[in-house]
Structure 1
Amino acid sequence: MMVDLSSSLWVLCTLSALVPAWTQQDPQPTNRSPNQSSGLKFRLAGFPRKHNEGRIEVFYNQEWGTICDDDFTMENAHILCRHLGFTEATGWTHSAKYGKGIGRIWLDNMICSGSEKSISDCNSRGWGNSDCTHEEDAGVICKDERIPGYVEPNTIETEQRQVEEIRLRPVIASAKNRLPINEGILEIKHRDAWEQVCDEGWSQTNSHVVCGMLGFPSEKKFNKNFYKLYLDKQKPSFRLHSVKCAGTEVHLSLCPLEFYKVNNSVSCQNGAPVVVSCTIGPVFTGSGAPGQTAMKKKKVVQQQQREGIIRLKGGARPGEGRVEILKNGQWGTVCDDRWDLHAASVVCRELGFGSAKEALTGARMGQGMGPIHMNEVRCSGNEKSLFDCQYKNITQEDCKHSEDSSVKCNIPYMGYEATIRLAGGRSLHEGRVEVLWGPRGEERWGLICGNGWGTKEAAVVCQQLGLGFVSTALQIRIVGGRTQFEGRVEVKLGTSWGYLCSDGWTTKEAMVACRQLGLGYSLHAVTETWYWDASNVTEMILSGVRCSGSEMSLQQCYNHRTVSCKNTGTRHAAGVICSETASDLVLHAALVQETAYIEDRPLHMLYCAAEENCLSSTARNANWPYGHRRLLRFSSQIHNTGRADFRPKAGRHSWVWHECHGHYHSMDIFTNYDLLTSNGTKVAEGHKASFCLEDSECQELVSKRYECANFGEQGITVGCWDLYRHDIDCQWIDITDVKPGNYILQVVINPNSEVAESDFTNNAMKCNCKYDGHRIWVHNCHIGDALSEEANKRFEQYRGQLNNQIQ
């Protein structure tokens, strides 16, 4: 398939000198190429941009081409990495992980022993003889260690890579600066110095690309006269000029551009430094959150009318996740056929982020549930919405959820925001207001002028310190762990570091800490940290931290005004074990609807269930063993669609043996079953301990790992599901005392959030339920976040309807 060059980021890593793609010139061989006589040259291409990994491309017969992943091995990768100037390979990739190349596929079924000096000595089908497509392009990951004596060629492309780090330098230090910095003079880092770009010929499309790189959805107008007065007094140092972007590029280095020579005294004589102003996405202005769609309410209503809402699911950080779209009132996924950076960037910008860093395929952010709405999406990159791109409507048979598409978007750099803090006070809630301001690497704290300072201004500061803003004023770190992903949580207030009290420290608080640290999800919320190496921090400075789990930092959570902790000492300091992946449990709603029925079960068959507290409280007063209990029974099939296995929080040593059922319970409560009235009052309930968490069935090519027989390991593997049949004890709700009427059947998995998941919003399932005293009708079962707001509203309205006489 042919793709536009702007969909990939080209990186010259070694022996070849890759010139900008727009010149259409072939790179010249270097003096150090081992294949000089044969004309072979090698380079890494694709995205994400890294100097030691990417799609492997070879220059043969005056043309660049790719290598097919058929029969590809580590031995192949070792030889190719040596061609690129690295000592060896640490891995290789298949299925065009770094994007699809263009042009010829030069080699297929290449088989090397590892001792060859050149890939031309390896066995293959021959140059240009291939039955592959570019969807099978191979990539390599080289060890970041150069061959002794290797010198990277000094070419125009090595200069081009200097564009990778850019920033906007604001010209006024003001407490009113928005978060984060989104307007200023465009600067490019070169040899530890920041230099400017000449604005001669600078266009709006150039600004659009820059804003996308910096994590902003689009560019906007600014006061040119203000900057002219400022820039007339400056002596800028120019590095770049003649930038000509189309506006669809995901990186400035993909645009045609030219560099000034160092110390060029006549550069940009008729111009001035480029100034760029970008719009800020709602997530970073306090009007949104990572788990919510990044749109304002008015826009949501407008898009709901045309069912054009997009969201990201399963990502460990803001701006990344599985792409899901709302269509026909139901959320569904996008198949990854033809999925590329253009389409991914349209999604990112639509959600209020910048351009895409990666367009991921193969359900890299976990598999979705429900319908697959789109396939073969083709975008130019200029579209305002993914729905404006060309795509195919498909059925479930055309694509599988193992082919769900995902994205990683550029987000604003949050380390040099105009952040505020309180300093010098007697507690966390009082003190002198200070502002952190400045560009990356040059941040500094300063004071706010007190002239005109009043109650309203102070209220704004208090709101920013506690709610709605991503703030680094309350800094945290983890220390003492064996890896960067674990340790005791320490907090910095003013100039002092201290630890947190672990009273009430749960998965929710630990989730926020891991998110603030950029380490993904919380695998464990640790309440005793004595076994980690101690630091010189001995003072507790924060306690009573309570979070909902969706906050961006611990500063946005509730905490005690004064330190109060039941267990003192660093032994009981709060700690975390973070992970970039997590499980995600989802109930198969349709199966509940298909299997629901009523059973009148004799009491003499319920002794075991009564022992495990699976009946309503009135069962204690029944005339045992005579009579019966009326049970609403159904099957539940719980899928793990995440990126990590679901494991019980408690270790095997603390599992409880239940003689009645002959197995161990690994969690006190695994699922809650409730019957609710029209106003949400609970009229009947049930619960299921995880008395046998195991892999009942798995997807194709996925092997079962967990089985509870013989005190085996318990859990649910990624791609597998645990099936509780309707005829298993406690797989019911005791409705003996329930009167006829309309109800809601609700099932909640992992209700106490004891085990970390990437998404807790899909843990609840609801069904409409009509009971006439003899029969029951269960319909419209769906996961809590599976429908549009309008569909959920109609569902909720049903609860208030009067009971209809059933014919």
Structure 2
Amino acid sequence: MSLQLIRPDDLRLVNGSSPCSGTVEVYRWGQWGTVAQYNWDLNDATVVCRQLGCGSPVVTPIRAHFGEGSGRVLLRDLSCNGSESALRDCGAVDFRHIDFPHKFDAGVICSDFVKLEGGADRCSGRVEVKLNHSWATLCDVDFDWQDAQVVCGELDCGDPSALHKVPHFGQGQAWFGEGSGPIWPDVFQCHGNETQLSQCAVSPWSRAACSHGQDVGVICSVGGVRLLSGGSDCEGWVEVFYNQTWWRIHKKSWSFTDSSVVCRQLGCGSAAKVRPSGAGEGDRCVTGFQCSGTEAHLGTCSSPQILTCKPRDQVFIICTNHRSLRLVGGGGECAGRLEVFHRGSWGTVCDDFWGLAEAQVTCRQLRCGTALRGQNPVPAYFGPGSGPIWLGRLGCTGSESSLWDCPSARFEQQDCGHKEDVGVVCSEHKLLRLSEGCSGHTEVYYNGSWRSLCFNHMEKTTAAVICRQLGCGDKGTVDETISRLSPEPTGNDGLKCRPHDSSPWQCPFSLWGQNTCTDTKVAKIYCSGEVYTQST
């Protein structure tokens, strides 16, 4: 049966050094009991720490790390995705009727004062600390390498590999996105050898002028893994940050399991393909990672060793989320709002200086044919997106193989609103359908729903263009019928195609909401590629 915990105080950590560490216990069926370690992972621990207001997990110990619990083992096989606000929202297996040894009790150690948010993993992101029972960001003024050293150490994330501050990187805002809520008012003065940020001295220097645009971010060495030169954030040569240097990975002892951990750590799904690159660079690599496949971070998979290597020895991987470009909201993969994947999240593209050249590159990169001339949708035609707006002012010539090759392509937050999100329609997209394959009600997808085309004395020329677009022959006949959609969205007054039009999207038509459809009759088309019997 699935778990449905019913009380807000049905979770606690016991036998740890603080209320934010210990064996996980849940209150269920009138008793406190433990959770078996089966399928216990970082997602489950993340929800526990969140529910208890303890920040993020540092370690997820198993095998009764804090001593064997008492009572019964009540649950096992928790299936949290990590985004739930409480453990009661996760699925689990009811285990209370089975005797099970407490030597497999799950535990967690949370950071109850500092966490990193907005990064690709728990060891990179915007620095946030606990302030009056809520989370506050830190201003990048006077936050230095020693402070970052303590943050990474407290989170069991190794050493800092990068410190992201607005002035240093020339960004107009916080590197990992702007936080919300309060901003920590004081300056930390760490020496670097403290075990917790809360042990560092603070200077009560006023920071009234500091804004969330100056929220500081940190990348720790355990979070220091990246994929380079693969065309997206989710494919490329594997590099890890080790001993203050980025190193390529040697294929020796590297496995598909190791690659899966890297993909998971970067928010790129799982490993899809692993191969020697044959075109790497440098002559020094690292090896020795031995992951079991369940780790959330490559840095926990034993320690690497440095060795001499050749370019052909370096590992190139492709993750399942390697496709860094997509079109959303158009009813298919070749039309819709343009979104790009960057730094672990999907964002949109601003329409500033967007034109046919940029649309051509988009369609080419997606293998969706060519951009349809005259069908460059108005901003937010496919609905406004959400999250960051990653690209704008690309300056493409139209000959590039990907948007990343355009002269001005830079991934950074744009000064645009989502009402300016770019939409694209490519030649391989089928925005229309016939209800019975190559015959039937003629319907077009627009703004999130299918809508009927009005009959309005549609001609055979138009029917033939639609049939060719759908791969249903070179000719077609058209009749009138009653819409099958209920309720019927506002329709279009029909296409008026010309003999030279090769696609319906080149045919003149009225904009939605400006139609002159005078009755309830809609078009029904029969294509030459379909065998049918038409009743009289």
State the TM bucket, normalised to the shorter chain.
0.3 to 0.5
The structure whose Rg is larger is 1
TM-score by length of 1: 0.26
